[in-house]
Amino acid sequence: MMSRKPRRRADKKSTELISYLPLYKAALEGQWKEARTFIDENPEAFTTKITIASETALHIAVGTGKDIIPFVEKMVRKMSPEELALTDQNGDTVLFVAAMVGNLDAAKLLVNKNPNLPNTSSKSDLPIHRAAQYGHKPMVQYLLQVTRSDIEPIPFSGESGVKLLINVIIAEFYDIALELVEMYPDLATLELQGFGSPLKVLAEKPATFPSGSPLNKWQKFLNFLSFGKFKRATKLMHRQSVELAKLLRMEIMELDDAKAHSLLQPPLHLAANLGVCEIIEDIVEAFPPAIWSSNEENHNVFQLAVTHSRENVFNLIFQMSEYRHLVTRYIDSQGNNILHLAGRLPSSDRLNLVSGAALQMQRELQWFKAVEQVAHHALKTAKNIDGKNPAVVFTESHQNLVKEGEKWLKDTATSCTVAAALIATVVFAAAITIPGGNDQNDGTPLFFKPQQHVEKAFAVFGVFDAVSLFSSVASILMFLSILTSRYSEADFHFALPNLLTIGLTMLFVSITSMMIAFSSALYLVFGQGKPWRLFLVVGLAMLPVSLFIILQLPLLKEMAYATYGRGIFRKKSSRRFH
């Protein structure tokens, strides 16, 4: 028989923690009666570390949240100010816990009993830092009022101050950030290791600026449900972010030129990477030499915009004076000019902003041609260190996308051809098989006789049946043209999207016309004298039409705009940019 291993005896600390489990559970559930009974038997329990993380019962209760505030209030009343300053193994007081969970009521109880708690630090952090890090705005606002600025460690200057400002910016509490910079302007000129300057951190939040956050469909729906409240909140955030960026830049401009340039360059380049036009325009307007600054790869603002496919930033070049011919002539460390960069395939997150591989290829061609318009003619044939000109770079980097675009177009055209052929077959049969039949004497349709009072409905049937037939045949021809195309690189710019747009439009017209003709036929056969049947049939007929609009119209609209519209590359403002 195998001998059983002896059970390892629990150490003394574990045994002590187990003995405090009743108090732990009482603090967790807010059961003051049970906690008081335990404390009466163990008076030292108020200050005892009852968890493996060296937390007191008050730490546990405050971290639970707002539901057990009466429990917290009773404990605070029985503890001294010094006991409230007890820390866990991380050096955090109970106020840190309240700040991290956003327990504002508990924080007020603690600060009223011990006003020094907001200035009690833990690993160079104060409770207000934790509140900002965990995104509790009401807590940050309260601690901003009760944290003193005249005692060490000084919370609103140096590393502590810039850390607080950066945490507030990351949390997107821009109204608080504005207040901090207005009260302590030197914070705008400091940098925090691992983050950089506050302006650089702000540039990393493109979604909070007007240029980086157009409302998507879901947000528009939320805005509709909230009667515009969502849109108003978004506009307020946009206004505050722009105001904060300008205020931070103004404070940086108070420094000498060299220091100002070193602080403005990182956010300028980051804004170009992420498409934050507001920061770029503000910096260049206030400090024009910044337009010539480049990063370690010798990429300036516009080369970065091309590299990361930020058309809103690139469009600023159309607002420039003749200097645009100079700013586009930078050559990077690999010998690439701005056209070489435009020839590269962008990251998938930028590429996938457009639906379908064919339309993605169209957008890439539009990008390349837009850069060609502003680039010096000598750049079109210039070679990089690999001996490749921009056209070769474009062709090589887009080979797979061309193949994917060809497959996408063929699959789409094949599916649509089948649908259009079925529609053509049905409506052709309906045209020669007239509802109600013909008169045996003269061969005229029975429903077309004046005495039947339905000649209008019959005319509707005939007209829309013909429209459906002709449009379905036209769409078949368009899709057949797509299937037999050569699929060269240049065809994706206009020819193929043009065929697909016309084909889908004709298919939509044929489906809609077929449903109208079908509804008319049903009314002719079953609906005479009973108008309610007409409304029922029309309502049901709208279902497939509505589904087509919901599922296909966005793609059709996107293709039409990209193929026939003004395009996304153009001058957006008359204001001069450098």
Taking the C-alpha atoms of residue 327 and residue 323, their distance in angstroms, rounded to an integer, is: 6
User: Looking at 140, 155, 170, which one is the last position of a domain?
Assistant: 155
**pLDDT for position 433:** 75
At which of 397, 419, 441 does a domain end?
397
**CATH label of the domain that carries residue 340:** 1.25.40
Task: Decide if pLDDT at 550 tops 90.
Answer: no
Same domain, 390 and 525: no
pLDDT tens, residue by residue, 380-425: 999 999 999 999 999 999 999 999 999 999 999 999 999 999 999 9
Provide the percentage of residues in the chain whose pLDDT is more than 70.
Answer: 89
Average pLDDT of the chain, as a whole number? 89
Alpha-carbon distance of 189 to 197, in angstroms, equals 7
Is the pLDDT at 5 greater than 70? The verdict is no
Burial class (CB in 10 A: 0-12, 13-18, 19+), 248: buried
User: What pLDDT, on the 0 to 100 scale, is given for residue 230?
Assistant: 66
- 391 and 325: one domain? yes
pLDDT reported for residue 432: 76
Check whether 2 has a pLDDT greater than 60.
no
Give the lowest-confidence range in 6-10, 169-173, 480-484. Answer: 6-10
Q: The domain spanning residue 47 has which CATH number?
A: 1.25.40.20
- pLDDT tens-digit series, residues 232-274: 888 899 999 999 999 999 999 999 999 999 999 999 999 999 9
Residue 2 DSSP label: P
Q: What is the pLDDT of residue 9?
A: 44
Domain that holds residue 134: 13-155
pLDDT band at 493 (very low <50, low <70, confident <90, very high): very high
Residue 146 pLDDT more than 70? yes
Residue 196 or residue 438, greater confidence: 196
User: At residue 559, does pLDDT exceed 70?
Assistant: yes
Instruction: Tell me the C-alpha to C-alpha distance, in Å, between residue 289 and each of 35, 255, 283, 316, 317.
Output: 68, 15, 10, 16, 15
For residue 94 the two structure tokens come to 């109970």
Does residue 389 share a domain with residue 417?
no
What is the model's pLDDT at position 450? 55
What whole-number distance in Å separates Cα of residue 506 and Cα of residue 546? 16
Q: Are residues 543 and 427 in the same domain?
A: yes
Q: Tell whether 387 and 431 lie within a shared domain.
A: no
| Residue 7 confidence (pLDDT) above 60 | no
Task: Report pLDDT digits (tens) over 374-389.
Answer: 999 999 999 999 999 9
Residues 413 and 384 in one domain: no
**pLDDT tens-digit readout, 436-487:** 555 556 555 555 555 455 677 778 888 999 999 999 999 999 999 999 999 9
Is 60 exceeded by the pLDDT of residue 6?
no
> Span 187-191, mean pLDDT?
97
Number of structural domains (the chain) is: 3
pLDDT over 60 (residue 10): no
Entry pTM: 0.88
Identify which of 36, 22, 108, 14 has the alpha carbon closest to the alpha carbon of residue 66: 108
DSSP 3-state of 354: coil
Dihedrals phi, psi of 51, to nearest 5 degrees: -130, 165
Confidence (pLDDT) at 286: 94
In this structure, the answer to whether residues 412 and 383 fall within a common structural domain is no
Q: Residue 226: pLDDT band by 50, 70, 90 thresholds?
A: low
Residue 355 domain-assigned (yes or no): yes
Mark whether 438 and 377 lie in a shared domain. Answer: no
Annotate 99-125 with DSSP letters as a single string: HHHT-HHHHHHHHHH-TTGGG--BTTB
The encoded tokens of residue 288 equal 């024009």
Tokens of 512: 């809609």
Provide mean pLDDT across the span 86-103: 96
Looking at 397, 425, 459, which one is the last position of a domain? 397
Let me know whether 42 and 146 are in one domain: yes
Chain CA centroid to CA 66, Å:
33
67: tokens are 């539901």
| pLDDT for 224 beyond 70 | no
